[in-house]
Amino acid sequence: MSSTGPQAEAARREFQELIAHKGHAVDNARAAIARLEVAFAEGALVRTPAVDQTLADLRVALDQADGQKLGGKSAEAARFITRALARLIDEA
């Protein structure tokens, strides 16, 4: 069962806006993760095992060593994973 109410809807809408924002997919993904963490902490959305696994996958794609630039593969992975995450939070 998905989370309901104005806070859940706002969190979902803001997540969608962040991942669709003009800019680099990696930066958008980081902002979207931060928004989801707030939504989970506030109780607006409920964590599920699938959401947690997808967030872990996204964090791996965004991981960078000191001084290392993330390339196109990271950006493409971020876009792919955030789209999957968007589908999951519709049900969270």
Tens-place pLDDT, residues 29-72: 999 999 999 999 999 999 999 999 999 999 988 876 455 655 66
Residue-averaged pLDDT of the chain:
88
Provide the CA 68 distance to its chain's centre, in angstroms. Answer: 22
Q: What pLDDT, on the 0 to 100 scale, is given for residue 42?
A: 95
Distance CA 77, CA 42 (A): 28
Structural domain of residue 72, as residue ranges? 6-89
Please tell me the predicted confidence (pLDDT) of residue 64: 66
pLDDT of amino acid 66: 52
- Euclidean distance between CA atoms 75 and 5, whole angstroms: 32
Q: How many domains does one find in the chain?
A: 1
The fraction of the chain above a pLDDT of 70, given in percent, is 89
In a domain, 1, yes or no: no
Alpha-carbon distance of 92 to 88, in angstroms, equals 6
Q: Does 71 reside within a domain?
A: yes
Residue 81 forms part of a structural domain: yes
Q: What is the pTM of this model?
A: 0.84
